[in-house]
Amino acid sequence: MLSPSRSIIVWFLICFLIIIWLPLLSVIRIFDRDPVAYRTGRMFRRLGKAMTQVNPSWQVVVSGEIIENPRNPYVVVSNHQSLADIPIISNLPWEMKWIGKDVLFRLPIIGWMMKLSKDIAVDRDDARSGARALLKARDVLAQRCSVMIFPEGTRSRDGRIYRFTDGAFHLAIKAQVPVLPIAVDGSFNCLPKNTWRFGEPSTIKVKVLPPVPTRGLISADLPDLREKVRSQIVAQVVEWRGDAFFDVDGTIDLPMLETKNPA
């Protein structure tokens, strides 16, 4: 774990960046006439990138597919290991509107910037809020801007990849836009729970996997699409770690496997 003094310095730098970014973003938003505030959102993601750059314990390595046209919309999905995933994924060089918990939008400064950037709030305890969020996301896609969703719904409790919910894939099929899978690994201990100190220095890998087309798919194809995308992300993390598939796939009951295979 990073020492208390170094953690304090990093938090100070992050807070400083957040404070100076708000007026900068506000000015950009005044002149941003794009219906989805594309330039404003892009500048907001640069804050996430800057936050990773001032943290000496985070080394982010991005690889995979190159997105030639950033205005060609995708439903982007990623596994979710920690809160650090948000600034880490912001290192990707294109804009996408994030669907996030409504409580984040009520936070001072960060929440204000999410609103300025036209990110999409959802109350997970309200089914109607979820439906409204997907409608807003569909409008964003129609305006040629990608949408970002964590289909696990919450952070992994142990670094494994758990079940994906249907929302992102329902959206992709309805909008007939490709799903763009993102695999992330190495961020699980970047921001350990129940402490303000940063984790040990680590290399965080982010890989953009090949887009999965949805043209011609219907609602009945949703389960196959969901599992195909999830399997690709799991397979990439398995390759990085060199682990067995069931050590990464959180839908497999490890205690049961250990009972059946005591060796």
DSSP code string of 206-231: EEEPPPB--TT--GGGHHHHHHHHHH
Nearest-angstrom CA–CA distance, 169 and 229: 9
Helix (H, G, I), strand (E, B) or coil at 181: strand
Q: What is the mean pLDDT of residues 125-149?
A: 94
Residue 67 has pLDDT above 80, yes or no: yes
Percent of the chain predicted with pLDDT > 70? 96
Interval 202-248: pLDDT, tens: 899 999 999 999 999 999 999 999 999 999 999 999 999 998 888 99
Fold of 4-260: Glycerol-3-phosphate (1)-acyltransferase (3.40.1130)
- The secondary structure of 96-123, three-state, reads EEEEEEHHHHCCCCHHHHHHHCCCEEEC
Q: What is the mean pLDDT of residues 94-123?
A: 96
The residue extents of the domains of the chain are: 4-260
CA angle, 105 as apex, 168 and 94 as ends, to 5°?
Answer: 55
Q: What's this model's pTM, rounded to 2 decimal places? A: 0.92
Query: What residues contact 50, with CB distance under 8 A and at least 6 apart?
Result: 17
Q: Which H or E run includes 78? A: strand 75-78
What pLDDT score does 254 carry?
Answer: 58
